[in-house]
Amino acid sequence: MALLDVLAGLGPKLGFTLTAHGVDHGLRPEAARELDLAERHAAGLGVPFSRTVVAVAPGGNLQARARSARYAALEAARRATGADLLATAHHADDRAETVLLRLLRGSGPRGLAVLPPRAGERVRPLLRARRADVLLHLSRHRVPFAEDPSNRDRRYQRVRVREELVPLLTELSPGIVEHLCALADALGAAPDGLALEVGPLPLGRAQRKQLARAVSHRSREARIWLPGGRTLALDRVTLKPHLLAQERPRKP
Cα dihedral angle (101, 110, 128, 168), rounded to 10 degrees? 30
**Whether residue 51 has pLDDT greater than 60:** yes
CATH number at residue 139: 3.40.50.620
Q: Are residues 142 and 128 in the same domain?
A: yes
In whole angstroms, give the CA distance from residue 67 to residue 96: 18
Question: How many domains does one find in the chain?
Answer: 3
Q: Are residues 113 and 162 in the same domain?
A: yes
198 confidence band (pLDDT: 50, 70, 90)? very low
Q: Are residues 80 and 92 in the same domain?
A: no
For residue 95, the model assigns a pLDDT of 97
| Strand ranges in the chain using DSSP code E only, listed in sequence order | 20-24, 49-53, 86-87, 118-119, 122-123, 221-225, 231-235, 241-244
Q: Are residues 76 and 92 in the same domain?
A: no
In whole angstroms, give the CA distance from residue 243 to residue 239: 13
What are the phi and psi torsion angles at 13 (to 5°)? -75, -35
Q: Are residues 179 and 209 in the same domain?
A: no
Per the prediction, the chain carries an average pLDDT of 82
Q: What is the mean pLDDT of residues 201-223?
A: 55
Q: Are residues 149 and 223 in the same domain?
A: no
Last residue of a domain, one of 86, 113, 129: 86
Q: What is the mean pLDDT of residues 14-43?
A: 94
In whole angstroms, give the CA distance from residue 97 to residue 100: 5
Residue 8's domain comprises 1-86
Q: Cβ distance 2 to 137 under 8 Å?
A: yes
211 confidence band (pLDDT: 50, 70, 90)? low
Q: Are residues 12 and 97 in the same domain?
A: no
Q: Cβ distance 178 to 169 under 8 Å?
A: no
> Which residues have a Cβ under 8 Å from the Cβ of 39 and sit 6 or more positions away?
22, 49, 51
Last residue of a domain, one of 86, 120, 155: 86
For residue 243, the model assigns a pLDDT of 47
Q: Are residues 63 and 35 in the same domain?
A: yes
pLDDT top residue among 208 and 128 = 128
Q: Are residues 124 and 203 in the same domain?
A: no
Q: Are residues 100 and 167 in the same domain?
A: yes
Last residue of a domain, one of 86, 111, 126: 86
Q: Are residues 46 and 108 in the same domain?
A: no
For residue 17, the model assigns a pLDDT of 96
In whole angstroms, give the CA distance from residue 32 to residue 229: 53
pLDDT top residue among 214 and 173 = 173
Q: Are residues 162 and 223 in the same domain?
A: no
Orientation of helix 131-140 relative to helix 2-14, angle to 10°: 80
> What pLDDT, in 10s, does the model give residues 54-96?
988 777 788 888 889 999 999 999 999 999 999 999 999 999 9
